[in-house]
Structures are given as structure tokens and as C-alpha cells.
């Protein structure tokens, strides 16, 4: 069996330290070689971003330039459909036949996962790794509580030894940062340099993004 590959999907409008620090910690704990950043094109559960896809991708690429383990995957950007994770995983599983795939989400996403397209089938294709998120408690729908009880593991090894099917909750650093908070601050002319990587901040300035 190959080492696990981490999948991290998001709108990334923009990518920020609240995304990057937990995923780096999870990569260290799992001994994964690669983190695939998957910017979505049409987010299933929120408004389509105003920021052009090319800018959201370029900001992810700034992060990939800082850390060689990050790869930007355009699988959802090139698909002319709503970016349902289920569809993405079916396609990725055809590409990765012998690699455990771990989809990383924040606790807010687990709290609403019962509203996702074909959510109970996601574990047929990937493991789920859930990061803590500042500002969010664990508030699971009863169906998700049952699903978790059936599939949860506390062992990283278990993720390495299976291609998919497990849920791991991790104690990653809790940062209360969100893209919407950053967009709001930038549009008010407020400083965000401690919330984002330097290169992403530079890119935003250079391209005059998120101005009111």
C-alpha cells in the first residue's frame, strides 16, 4: 500500500493560515507525501465566489511554491458541474487505485455533512480527517453521530492500512480565521498580514483583490 495522499477541497477565496496550519500538522502526523489542494468551481452550499477562478488558483499556487508537498489539482475547476465531493472522489479513485485517500475538512463541514450530496457513500472512496476549527463546537446531526460511531478510528495506522472508510478527528491547532473575515477586513482597508501567507497577501495587493 502507498502512503496516504491528503485531499483538501475548498473555495479558497482566499486561502489562509487557518487552512494551511492544520493541514500541515495532519500531513506530519500521517506521514503523507502529498497534499492536493482542490479549489472548487461551483461550491455546492454557498454562493459562487466573486473572485475569478484564476486568482483563487494563483493564490493556492503561491502556497504550493512555499511548500513542495502541496499540489494544486484543477479537477473541479475543469468540470462543468456543481463541485460535489462525491463526483470528485469517484474520479480520483480511478486515478489512485492503491493509495489511501484522506479528505480533510474542518469541524464546521462535519457539522453540516448530512446535507452533502450522497454523503453516506463518501467513505466508499476516501477517509475523512476532521480538523478542529476555532469558533466551532462539534454539533453533529443524529445520523452523522451514528455514522461516526460506526466508522471512527483513533489510529493513524488504520488510515494507512485501508484505502478508505474511516473517520479520524484530530486535535490540530484551532485558528479562528475564515476567508469571509479576511474579505471583510480587506474591503474595509484593515490589515490581514498575520492571517495569510506573505506571498498570498502580496498577490492580493498586486491584483487589487477584495477592495470594496
Ligand X SMILES: O=C(O)c1ccc[n+]([C@@H]2O[C@H](COP(=O)([O-])O)[C@@H](O)[C@H]2O)c1
CA 66 and chain centroid, separation: 18
Binding segment for ligand X (CB under 6 A), chosen from 43-51, 129-137, 154-162, 192-200, is 43-51
Q: Is there binding between residue 10 and ligand X (CB under 6 A)? A: yes
Containing H/E element for 80? none
In the bound complex, what is the minimum distance in angstroms from residue 80's beta carbon to ligand ATP?
A: 21
- Residue 15 has what DSSP assignment? -
Q: Is there binding between residue 86 and ligand X (CB under 6 A)? A: yes
Binding segment for ligand X (CB under 6 A), chosen from 7-15, 60-68, 165-173, 182-190, is 7-15
Beta-carbon contacts of residue 105 (< 8 Å; ≥ 6 apart): 9, 113, 128, 129, 130, 131
Q: Is there binding between residue 133 and ligand ATP (CB under 6 A)? A: yes
Distance CA 31, CA 160 (A): 9
In contact, 183 and 210? CB cutoff 8 Å: yes
Binding segment for ligand ATP (CB under 6 A), chosen from 4-12, 73-81, 91-99, 150-158, is 4-12
Partner interacting with residue 23 (select from ligand ATP, ligand X, none; CB below 5-8 Å by kind): none
Question: Please, which of residues 143-182 interact with ligand ATP by CB under 6 A?
Answer: 175, 177-180
**Helix crossing, 53-66 with 198-206: angle to 10°?**
150
Partner interacting with residue 178 (select from ligand X, ligand ATP, none; CB below 5-8 Å by kind): ligand ATP
Q: Is there binding between residue 76 and ligand ATP (CB under 6 A)? A: no
Q: Is there binding between residue 13 and ligand ATP (CB under 6 A)? A: yes
Distance CA 48, CA 176 (A): 23
Question: Please, which of residues 88-127 interact with ligand ATP by CB under 6 A?
Answer: 105-106, 108-109
Preceding peptide of 135 cis, ω within 30°: no
Binding segment for ligand X (CB under 6 A), chosen from 61-69, 81-89, 143-151, 169-177, is 81-89
Does residue 5 sit in helix, strand or coil? strand
Q: Is there binding between residue 197 and ligand X (CB under 6 A)? A: no
Amino acid at each position: 500500500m502507498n502512503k496516504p495522499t491528503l485531499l483538501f477541497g475548498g473555495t479558497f477565496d482566499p486561502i489562509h493560515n487557518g487552512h494551511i496550519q492544520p493541514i500541515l500538522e495532519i500531513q506530519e502526523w500521517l506521514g503523507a507525501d502529498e497534499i492536493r489542494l482542490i479549489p472548487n468551481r461551483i461550491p455546492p452550499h454557498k454562493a459562487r465566489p466573486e473572485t475569478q477562478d484564476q486568482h483563487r488558483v494563483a493564490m493556492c499556487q503561491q502556497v504550493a511554491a512555499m511548500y513542495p508537498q502541496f499540489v494544486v489539482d484543477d479537477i473541479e475547476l475543469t468540470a462543468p458541474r456543481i463541485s460535489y465531493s462525491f463526483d470528485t472522489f469517484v474520479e480520483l479513485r480511478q486515478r489512485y487505485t492503491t493509495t489511501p485517500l484522506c479528505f480533510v475538512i474542518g469541524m464546521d463541514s462535519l457539522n453540516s455533512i448530512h446535507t452533502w450530496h450522497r454523503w453516506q457513500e463518501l467513505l466508499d472512496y476516501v477517509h475523512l480527517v476532521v480538523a478542529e476549527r476555532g469558533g466551532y463546537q462539534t454539533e453533529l446531526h443524529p445520523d452523522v453521530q451514528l455514522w461516526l460511531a460506526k466508522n471512527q478510528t483513533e489510529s493513524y495506522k488504520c488510515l494507512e492500512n485501508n484505502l478508505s472508510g474511516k473517520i479520524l478527528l484530530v486535535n490540530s491547532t484551532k485558528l479562528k480565521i475564515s476567508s469571509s473575515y479576511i474579505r471583510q477586513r480587506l474591503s474595509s482597508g484593515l490589515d490581514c498580514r498575520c492571517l495569510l501567507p506573505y506571498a498570498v497577501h502580496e498577490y492580493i495587493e498586486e491584483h487589487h483583490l477584495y477592495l470594496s
